[in-house]
């Protein structure tokens, strides 16, 4: 039986909306897009217990926050195989930039190992209430994938918040260099951070992945022609989910972004994902950029059809075509943000095959829900 997106939409409908009133089609599609970005399965009690954490930007697999203290590192542990001169990202369209990156990335060595390991840092930007500076709440995500066994592990760590820019740092120092910030309606951010948030091993209650995430065993069967890849991804999505074609098409794009960035794709498959994205309407070049660690790359913007959802920007290494990270940017004024303002960023600091196994084989212990004083937790359902 398919996972019915419309039923998920009903469960996720905001409380202020009257369920008896008909929902305009654009609103329904935007809500569907929100639902599709949520994990299929979550730790219910753990989600209840914890305040809202900084979430991953679009790429999970895309999940994937570093501040100025993080040094630039090499994306791959192998030397590029004569990729040729890097194209000028400023001289072509977004599609041309992606096609050039595809021609470079498909020349990279395939590599091998038992585990595919990705480490990325995510920063979500918060304007401090009543102050004139912004801090980046930083989270480190680590992922291991054993494609042969179709298993995944993950770990997240709170690295603490830091002023987002040098100007923010100067304003923070003028404010007395506080080490914690109470956010309106949010958790308290701290300079020191809380260390590990949680880790997840295969088979535990916390196994989760976004709608559109591919089973690892499927990767080896995917075609490396971009048109055939789009057709195959749509068939996989359509097999599993009910929903309007426009929503399913968006899941296909999100899945292609995962193939292009953090999934253990072969160089040929990664290049095919780039070419699939190059055919998306509205993709545009942003020219030469620097990621949050200062690494130089070129970037493209992928517009989100569900306005006012943020715009996703992908950053690539100029010589290898490998992904460096992502940014999300506000597409309208509101919610404390200005149009064009960066909302979050990820930087991929390691991505390679390795024989080093994950350092854990069980889930983080579930602390259970936070309850008012004197209130007992609900009994566990019988199994």
pLDDT class of 66 with cuts at 50, 70, 90: very low
Bridge partners, 326 (sequence order)? 314, 346
Give DSSP secondary structure letters for 274-320.
HHHHHTSTT-EEEEEEE-TTS-EEEEEEE--SSTTSPEEEEEEETTT
184-216 residue pLDDT tens: 776 789 999 999 999 999 876 555 554 457 888
67-102 residue pLDDT tens: 222 222 223 333 333 333 444 444 479 999 999 999
Reported in sequence order, the residue ranges of the chain that DSSP labels E, i.e. its strands, are 3-4, 115-127, 134-146, 151-163, 180-182, 188-190, 195-200, 241-242, 284-290, 296-302, 311-317, 323-329, 342-354
The pLDDT of residue 204 is 62
Q: What is the mean pLDDT of the chain?
A: 77
225-270 residue pLDDT tens: 999 999 999 999 998 887 889 889 999 999 999 999 999 999 999 9
The pLDDT of residue 330 is 87
% of the chain at pLDDT higher than 70: 68
Q: Cis link prior to 308 (omega < 30° from 0)?
A: yes
The pLDDT of residue 299 is 95
4-29 residue pLDDT tens: 544 444 444 444 344 444 444 554 55
Residue 379 burial class via C-beta count within 10 angstroms: exposed 0-12, middle 13-18, buried 19 and up: exposed
222-236 residue pLDDT tens: 999 999 999 999 999
């Amino acid at each position: 039986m398919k996972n019915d997106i419309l039923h998920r939409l009903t469960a996720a409908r905001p409380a202020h909306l009257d369920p008896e009133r008909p929902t305009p089609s654009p609103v329904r599609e935007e809500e569907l897009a929100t639902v599709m970005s949520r994990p299929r399965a979550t730790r219910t009690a753990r989600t209840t217990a914890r305040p809202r954490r900084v979430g991953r930007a679009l790429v999970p697999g895309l999940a994937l926050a570093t501040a100025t203290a993080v040094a630039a590192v090499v994306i791959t542990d192998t030397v590029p195989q004569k990729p040729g001169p890097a194209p000028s990202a400023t001289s072509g369209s977004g599609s041309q930039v992606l096609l050039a990156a595809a021609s470079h990335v498909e020349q990279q060595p395939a590599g091998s190992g038992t585990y595919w390991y990705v480490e990325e840092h995510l920063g979500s930007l918060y304007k401090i209430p009543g102050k004139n500076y912004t801090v980046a709440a930083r989270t480190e995500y680590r992922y291991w994938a054993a494609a042969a066994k179709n298993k995944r592990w993950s770990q997240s760590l709170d690295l603490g918040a830091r002023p987002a820019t040098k100007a923010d740092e100067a304003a923070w120092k003028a404010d007395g260099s506080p080490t914690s910030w109470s956010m309106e309606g949010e958790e308290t951010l701290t300079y020191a951070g809380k260390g590990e948030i949680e880790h997840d091993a295969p088979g535990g209650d916390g196994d989760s992945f976004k709608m559109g995430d591919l089973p690892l065993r499927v990767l080896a069967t995917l075609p490396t022609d971009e048109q055939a890849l789009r057709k195959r991804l749509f068939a996989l999505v359509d097999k599993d989910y009910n929903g309007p074609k426009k929503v399913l098409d968006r899941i296909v794009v999100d899945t292609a972004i995962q193939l292009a960035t953090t999934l253990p794709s072969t160089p040929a498959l990664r290049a095919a994902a780039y070419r699939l994205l190059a055919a998306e309407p509205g993709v545009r070049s942003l020219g030469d950029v620097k990621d949050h660690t200062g690494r130089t790359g070129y970037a493209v913007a992928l517009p989100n059809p569900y306005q006012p959802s943020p715009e996703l920007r992908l950053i690539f290494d100029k010589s290898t075509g490998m992904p460096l990270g992502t940014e999300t940017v506000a597409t309208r004024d509101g919610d404390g943000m200005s149009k064009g303002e960066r909302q979050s960023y990820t930087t991929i600091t390691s991505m390679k095959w390795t024989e080093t196994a994950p350092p854990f084989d069980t889930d983080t212990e579930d602390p259970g829900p936070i309850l008012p004083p004197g209130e007992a937790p609900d009994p566990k359902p019988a199994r």
